[in-house]
Structure 1
Amino acid sequence: MDPQVKSKRFNRNYALQMATVFVGFIIFGFSENIKGPAIPRIQSDFGIDEMQLGTLLSLNSLGYLLACSFTAFLTRKLGIKFVSLTAFGGMAASGVLIFLSKSYPLFSSSYFLMYIGNGMLEIALAILGARIFVRNTGTMMNLAHFFYGLSSTVAPIIASGLMSLTIFGNTVDWREMYLIMLALSIIPMVPAFFSRFAGDETPPEHRVPLTSLMRDRGLWLIVLILSFGVVSEMSVGGWLVNFLEKAYHWNTASASGMLSIFFLCFSLARLLLGPVTDKIGFTLSLIILSGFSGLCTFTAILSGEQGAIFFALAGIGIAPIYPTVMAVIAKRYPNESDTAITFIVTMMGIGSVIGNYLIGAIIDGTKGFYEANSQLGLVRGLQAGYVFIGLCAIICALMSLLLYGFMKKRGELL
């Protein structure tokens, strides 16, 4: 074949692959973060209380972890292309079912299906990224996750905007909003369908089984790095506004503005710091960035209200952790990336559940020491909870340091 023709075909296929991953991450961000404006309306329509809502979200998290656990098996048996198309198709189908759900049992089942699709999609996109970003891996992984951060930022705004629209005299409700947003999952199915993805043809004898991978100390260090890093990352969205309102008596607009600055720092870090991770090395980057995030968090707590900006600056350090860990996995386990990613992300999900539970327990436990002054107890409790968030980033840095030493000793430093 003429080399020029071959090159054009390769470039076209690579463009289709990148479109699948980048648009896929945009859809992933939408599907995970449109629920905020919809939840009060869902509660009102079905007459469910907070406990029922919490149970619904917990079951969905279980569905997410369940999907993470079987996606690697499906990938090995049916191929990453089939799994990707199934994940996107399942999410689009769940949008239709949510739209049609008039009873709470049907809605909860449809919502559960959406989270199954979310779990499959997270693993599928990670595997796709590991397979196609063989050059400038840190840069490309961070860029891909930047699209997730971007769509996550605008998803609540778009969802609220849709639910305020009036079309042909009817106001768009939350069911129609889910139908419209999840129907966007069809878009990345087009480049996925026309792409060729390498890796599915790897013979079984060339793969290392999971039982052997689990004997690798480096794998468990990666699990700990990702778990503590993600707890520190995800906790900010849940606790920062609450902290600023109750500890410093900020109004909602000001507290939400600081959260927006955090996400701005977060998104810019993923957009701009990828080349840095490629240049200085992935493991060294993890040490520096997670350590920076932890130090910013502690600085914010110790300096009081005037140092609140450091809460937002912590986003610069914590943002590249997840995509950089994915780059480590892609390079360290090239033939077993599907198995390694599924195992690591599943363990991370369990660790995240435990970590978020501990934050709440630490806040409540600390408040108990100040029964005579409930306001002071609340402030100290929130501070203690945020200390744990910063501590998670520091532990992430320490685990990264151990991984650095482990890999350097074996001559496998990335």
Structure 2
Amino acid sequence: MQLATIFLGFIVFGISENIKGPAIPRIQFDFGLNESQLGTLLSLNALGYLLACSFTAVLTRLWGIKIVSILSFALMIASGVLIFFSHSYSIFSSSYFLMYIGNGMLEIALAILGARIFVKNTGFMMNLTHGFYGLSSTVAPLVATGVMSVQVFGHTLDWRGMYLVMLSLSVLPIIAALGSSFPGDNVAHDERVPLKKLMRDPVLWLMVLILSSGVVSELAVGGWLVNFLEKAYKWDTIEASGMLSAFFLCFALARLLLGALTDRFGYVLSLALFSAFSALCTFGAIAGGERVAFLFAASGIGIAMVYPTVMAFIAKRYSKGSDTAITFTVTLMGLGSVIGNYLIGFITESAKRLYGSDTPLGLLRGLQAGYGFIGLCALVCAVFSVILYLMLKKQKELI
């Protein structure tokens, strides 16, 4: 039941994160948002994610991981209900913010649970469980597109009804969690490594930079790829959602099939190689134009490996302080995500104005510049991974 909770949890997490791809153009149209405002919306939601990350570890120590996990799923169900009834932008943004609170709590809860359970073949098992996130992310955009067109009692569900239906699936991992017992809640506080000691470790700060840049590159695809393909190449929603699903198929297969390589190559070297591959694919897709759009999907192979490999590294290096190290790292990662989403929208809008806001060329260059930042984040992830690799190799502390 512990494994069922983790697997189902990552499935729901992938759904909640990536149904926004086909929904965002409609949300943007309904509320009259430009790209900069859209980037601000996603940044504010990432702020909710950040806030949740900052207090989830405290709640885990007070209430236990079981209650915190169930609460995070319940919040996502509640946000789905509120989104369904939101017909003003203020109510919608508040409801969306609540969903990201639930997502942030779930992110920490699943990471802590994985670090406690997977003490052997950590890289493989972390990538395997996170592979279920990739699998659900693969089908989420296409399923979301289909659900938005479903009619119930003569009314089309559209994006509001789609969020209600998809987020209601959170009831499945709640059932699994209710039947589970979770390890590690009885660990004495004096056995845990204190945060002040962890913060003096430069390795952890480098891991924050690696994770932040990698996750910005990963999560931004779900929010911006469909928007890019529809506006830059005039693809219809089904085609664009299909490419997003292809990205997450590559994403999921990489985690399911390549996780064992991280244990063999070493976690830090794997981070450098895979993130560099993702950056090359993203830049190649932008430079090559529509005929090499498949490289957008291929970039998922590399960026998929960043998050679970970082979690495996933390679980191994900070075995007695994994809860604290994970919370610290993921919280700062959330801050990076806030900044990253804002920058993508800002860069897109700025480049549009530079080439002519109301011209097709201005739109294309703006979208290319914004999406290029996603590739740049993957490249930054690779650079910091190389720096960390050289540092740990010199200290003979490679994992």
Aligning the two structures, in what range does the TM-score lie when normalised by the shorter sequence? 0.7 to 0.9
Deviation at 1:239, TM superposition (A): 4.0
In structure 2, distance between residues paired with 1:213 and 1:294? 30
One-letter code aligned to 1:79: G
Return the offset for 1:220: 0.8
Does residue 401 in structure 1 map to residue 380 in structure 2?
A: no
1:107-122 equivalent positions in 2, closer than 5 A: 109-122=94-107
Note the C-alpha offset of 1:298: 3.2
- Structure with the greater relative contact order (CA < 8 A, sep ≥ 6): 1 or 2? 2
Inter-CA distance 36–291: structure 2 relative to 1 (3 Å threshold): closer
2:139 corresponding residue in structure 1? 154
**Structure 2 match to 1:191:** 176
Could you tell me how far apart the structure 2 residues matched to 1:274 and 1:410 are? 26
Q: Distance in 2 between matches of 1:273 and 1:130?
A: 19
1:66 maps to a residue whose letter is L
| Deviations 1:280-310, CA, capped at 9 Å, x for gaps | 1111111111112222233334445544433
Q: How does 1:12-411 map to 2 (within 5 A)?
A: 16-35=1-20, 48-50=31-33, 58-96=43-81, 109-166=94-151, 177-244=162-229, 249=233, 251-252=235-236, 255-367=240-352, 370=355, 375-411=360-396
Moved more, 217-226 or 198-207: 198-207
Which sits farther off after the overlay, 52-61 or 361-370? 52-61
Instruction: Give how far 1:168 is off.
Output: 6.2
Answer with 73-82 or 359-368: which moved more. Answer: 359-368
Relative to 1, partners in 2 of residues 1:406 and 1:64: Cα closer, same or farther, differing over 3 Å? same
Structure 2 spans left out of the alignment, 5+ residues:
none
Contact 2:213 2:377 in 1 (8 A): yes
Q: What is the one-letter code of the residue matched to 1:146? A: G
TM-score w.r.t. the length of structure 2 is 0.85
Distance 1:390 1:104 in 2: 31
Q: How many angstroms apart in 1 are the aligned matches of 2:180 and 2:337?
A: 34
CA distance in 2, matches of 1:83, 1:274: 28
CA contact (8 A) 2:392 2:398 kept: yes
Q: Quote the RMSD (CA, aligned, Å).
A: 3.3
8 Å CA contact 1:202–1:335 kept in 2: the answer is no
Q: CA deviation at 1:163?
A: 4.5
Q: Aligned partner of 2:110: which letter?
A: L
- Between Structure 1 and Structure 2, how many residues are aligned? 396
Higher Rg of the two aligned structures: 1
Answer yes or no: is the 8 Å Cα contact 1:75–1:338 preserved in 2: no
Identity percentage over the alignment? 67
Displacement, 1:262? Answer: 2.5
Q: Is the 8 A contact 1:293 1:317 kept in 2?
A: yes
Unmatched 5+ residue regions in structure 1? Answer: 1-15
